[in-house]
Amino acid sequence: MNKITCDLCMDLIPLVRDGIASNESKKAVELHMKSCVACNAFYSGELPPTVNAEKAFQKFRRKVQFFSILLMMFGIFFGLGLTAGADMFYNSFIMPVIGILGYMIFRWKALYNLPILLLITHSAINILGFMKERENLDFASMLIWTIFYCIFAWIGVFIAGLLHYAFRKEE
């Protein structure tokens, strides 16, 4: 039996209550409710679906993630801006740190979130530099550097991931 989401479960509950749900829907709802407090409360009429606790929590989590992304971009922006023109030595240090932070926020999703963030931030820095100091816009080298930074950021993600895994195993 496939697991269903709370949204789907709450859609099906009125049908189950009215006795018009199919057997399969009924089974799925019963299975879901065995381990879901929110849907149980909804089933017994204690909770309207709009103030679903789980939904509120998901909303909160999305907000936290949004701010984390902003913070992250600020970090990359600051890190790259600070070391712009300096040799790549510093950036090579900053990127793994950003990778570790990325893993803490996104877990393994950081592997594809970070490259996107890096590319956006890197482009913004270049465009700002272009507007302020008439630097040349060199998209090819920008892309190459982004890939280069990515590799270092990924190293950070892998280090954090492995540490997290090792740490969890000990518990």
Q: Which is nearer to Zn ion, 34 or 132 (CB)?
A: 34
Q: 158-167 burial, b if ≥16 CB within 10 A, otherwise e?
A: bebbeeeeee
Q: Toward Zn ion, which CB reaches closer, 36 or 95?
A: 36
Which residue from 12, 36, 76, 100 is in contact with Zn ion, where contact means CB under 5 A?
36
Interface with Zn ion (CB under 5 A), residue total 5
Name residues contacting Zn ion, limited to 3-32 (CB under 5 A): 6, 9
Q: What angle do CA 73, 160, 112 make, to 5 degrees?
A: 50
Tell whether residue 111 is a contact of Zn ion (CB under 5 A).
no
DSSP 44: T
Residue in 28, 39, 117, 118 binding Zn ion, rule: CB under 5 A: 39
User: How far apart (Å, rounded) are the C-alpha atoms in residues 20 and 23?
Assistant: 9
* Greatest extent of the chain over all pairs of C-alpha atoms, in Å: 71
Asked whether the CA dihedral 122, 126, 131, 132 is positive or negative, the reply is positive
Which residues, 6+ apart, have CB-to-CB distance to 123 below 8 Å? Answer: 142
Nearer to Zn ion, 3 or 109 (CB): 3
- Provide the minimum distance between the beta carbon of 36 and Zn ion in the complex, in angstroms, as a whole number: 3
Of 4 and 94, which has the nearer Cβ to Zn ion? 4
CA distance 76 to 43: 47
Contact residues: Zn ion, CB under 5 A: 6, 9, 36, 38-39
